[in-house]
Structure 1
């Protein structure tokens, strides 16, 4: 078992590019099933949040590949990564 406090201090890393996405700020729980639906990562924002709103990154539970001692490996694609996938057409 893992406590939420232990879960929140782990770094969340995207396996696609090795980039650190941040740390878990919240989780979505389905109250009907009692299962975690997604993890929410607060965006790092702009310079100390002065120049824009921090955006949240929502990672569906099915995209979590591995929960390790210090890191959580996830599969995540940003919206701008989806464009240009079919360049062979």
Structure 2
């Protein structure tokens, strides 16, 4: 079975232990030296229709992924495993 990283963007992340839905994959972290995916990133939700910015992104380590389905990715994540990334406010010119 062949797949691409772009195919992950269409999949929703759901916690196996409590059924919590975190959202859709927005990005992945890749270790450039080994060429392996290290984490899945779910963008934070919009605050007040985006007028107040976004919540922090949620980052799921690759080790927490348990199963891939056609439409979903099942993860086993607790609060300690899920990192929240601070959004970078600086834009490169």
TM range (shorter): 0.7 to 0.9
1:74 has 2:75 as partner? yes
1:48 paired residue number: 49
Instruction: Indicate conservation of the 8 Å contact 1:44/1:54, yes or no.
Output: yes
TM-score when normalising by structure 2? 0.75
The structure whose Rg is larger is 1
- The TM-score normalised by the length of structure 1 is 0.78
Count of residues paired in the alignment: 79
Unaligned runs of 5+ residues in structure 1 are 80-89
1:5-84 matched pairs, under 5 angstroms = 5-78=6-79
Structure 2: any 5+ residue segments left out of the alignment? 81-93
RMSD value, Cα = 1.5
Q: How big is the shift at 1:10? A: 0.8
Change (3 A) 1:47 1:75: farther
Structure 2 Cα separation of the partners of residues 31 and 45 of structure 1: 30
Q: Identify if the C-alpha distance between structure 1 residues 49 and 69 changes in structure 2 by more than 3 Å, giving closer, same or farther.
A: same
